[in-house]
């Protein structure tokens, strides 16, 4: 089993390190602070604040390096990779994929990079909030753009499966657009709904009458604002397209309501969308052989993800 070096041991990286160790891998990591490193060491894990040493060890062991630092710390991390382990097997756990791929291409161009996004999380953050079960049952997107190294692709998929996740292949830009539509936009619409419902300070009539539809529709508006901002602002261009789509549909609905009074197109469309969502809850697991022409294989993987299917773990 390939060794794993996890850069950043907050909620996501810390959980990943634990899950990899639980699976029997040799795994080590880095932390940004002495406090985090000490906490992880006290829990029995091999975590240091010395990134260069961790990366040198990764280069020697031909380990899979996983970037799990915040997006804001990405550039500095890539500079160290390019200096110490320039040709390493590299993936990441950051929630946007085009920006990371662009940064890798610019700052660590020799790295054998395949993007990853384990779609798990809690409202908490930091090493102490993590656990090896965090990724159980979650979707783990593995980017499948032309030109990627299928050998590293296999490494990332195997890590995801060991963590209990479903592997969903996707082009980096399609991933960013998808999460804008199903994760970032929901947070913004929830915020808008909460503001409209709250209305003017001092008039709580509407809020006092609110029941299930408002409670559900605004639930994620209760998320800590800094988490939502970091998530949404990092995916700005894809999010703009999703917001424009929502604005267009809401504007058309407004026009219909004002003119004919009819809301059927909006309501029927939403009903069908929700039915389609329900139908994706139990995805097919399909096998794909990774040993053909790389660009043909990657195209097949992307097509599988677009159909809403997941990759079936291959037999060892």
Beta bridge partners of 6: 29, 66
**Strand, coil or helix: what is 141?**
strand
The partner residues of 76 in beta bridges, in order of sequence, read none
Per-residue contact flags (x/-) with its own copies for residues 272 to 291, judged by CB under 8 A: xxxxxxx-x--x--------
Residue (of 79, 77, 73, 68) closest to 40 by Cα position: 68
Instruction: Name residues contacting its own copies, limited to 154-193 (CB under 8 A).
Output: 168, 170, 174-175, 177-179, 181-183, 185-193
Report in angstroms how near the CB of residue 252 gets to its own copies at its nearest.
Answer: 10
Give whichever of 96 and 232 is closer to its own copies, judged by the CB atom.
Answer: 232
Does 209 interact with its own copies (rule: CB under 8 A)?
yes
For residue 24, which phi and psi values (nearest 5 degrees)? Answer: 95, 10
Q: Considering beta carbons, is residue 157 or 310 the nearer one to its own copies?
A: 310
CB of 118 to its own copies, least distance (A): 11
Q: Strand pairing partners for 112?
A: 89
Nearer to its own copies, 196 or 296 (CB): 196
How many residues of this chain interact with its own copies, rule: CB under 8 A? 98
Q: Of the ranges 23-31, 124-132, 145-153, 233-241, which one interacts with its own copies (CB under 8 A)?
A: 233-241
DSSP 167: E
Sequence-distant (6+) residues with CB within 8 A of 11 are 121, 122, 124, 125, 126, 127, 129, 130, 134
Comparing CB distances to its own copies, the nearer of 12 and 58 is: 12
* Segment interacting with its own copies (CB under 8 A) among 29-37, 76-84, 94-102, 251-259: 251-259
How many Cβ atoms sit within 10 Å of the Cβ of residue 293?
9
Q: Which of 1, 73, 83, 250 binds its own copies (CB under 8 A)?
A: 250
For residue 10, the number of C-alpha atoms closer than 13 Å in the C-beta half-sphere is 18
List the interface residues with its own copies, window 292-311 (CB under 8 A). Answer: 305-310
Q: Which lies closer to its own copies via its Cβ, residue 72 or residue 291?
A: 72
Within positions 127 to 146, which residues make up the interface with its own copies, using CB under 8 A?
138-139, 141
Q: Is 247 exposed, middle or buried (0-12, 13-18, 19+ CB in 10 A)?
A: exposed
CA angle 116, 148, 232 (to 5 degrees): 35
Binding residue for its own copies, selected from 44, 72, 147, 211, defined by CB under 8 A: 211
- By CB under 8 A, is residue 31 in contact with its own copies? no
H/E element, 236: helix 236-259
CA 113 to chain centre: 16
């Amino acid at each position: 089993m390939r060794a794993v070096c996890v850069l950043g041991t907050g909620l996501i990286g810390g959980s990943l390190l634990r899950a990899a160790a639980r699976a029997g891998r040799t795994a080590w990591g880095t932390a940004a602070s002495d406090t985090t490193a000490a906490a992880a060491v006290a829990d029995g894990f091999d975590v240091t604040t010395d990134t260069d040493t961790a990366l040198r060890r990764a280069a020697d062991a031909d380990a899979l390096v996983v970037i799990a630092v915040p997006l804001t710390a990405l550039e500095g991390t890539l500079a160290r990779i390019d200096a110490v382990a320039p040709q390493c097997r590299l993936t990441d756990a950051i929630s946007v994929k085009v920006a990371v791929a662009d940064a890798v291409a610019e700052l660590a161009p020799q790295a054998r990079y395949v993007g990853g996004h384990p779609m798990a999380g809690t409202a908490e953050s930091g090493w102490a909030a993590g656990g090896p079960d965090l990724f159980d049952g979650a979707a783990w997107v593995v980017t499948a753009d032309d030109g990627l190294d299928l050998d590293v692709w296999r490494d990332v998929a195997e890590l995801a499966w060991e963590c209990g996740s479903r592997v969903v292949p996707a082009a980096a830009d399609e991933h960013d657009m998808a999460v804008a539509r199903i994760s970032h936009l929901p947070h913004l619409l929830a915020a808008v709904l909460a503001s409209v419902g709250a209305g003017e300070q001092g008039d709580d009539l509407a809020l006092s009458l609110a029941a299930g539809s408002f409670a559900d529709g605004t639930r994620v508006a209760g998320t800590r604002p800094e988490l939502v901002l970091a998530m949404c602002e990092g995916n700005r261009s894809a999010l703009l397209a999703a917001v424009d789509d929502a604005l267009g549909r809401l504007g058309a609905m407004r026009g219909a309501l004002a003119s004919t009074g009819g809301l059927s197109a909006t309501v029927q469309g939403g009903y069908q969308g929700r039915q389609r969502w329900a139908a994706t809850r139990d995805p097919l697991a399909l096998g794909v052989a990774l040993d053909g022409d790389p660009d043909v294989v990657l195209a097949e993987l992307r097509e599988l993800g677009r159909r809403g299917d997941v990759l079936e773990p291959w037999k060892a």
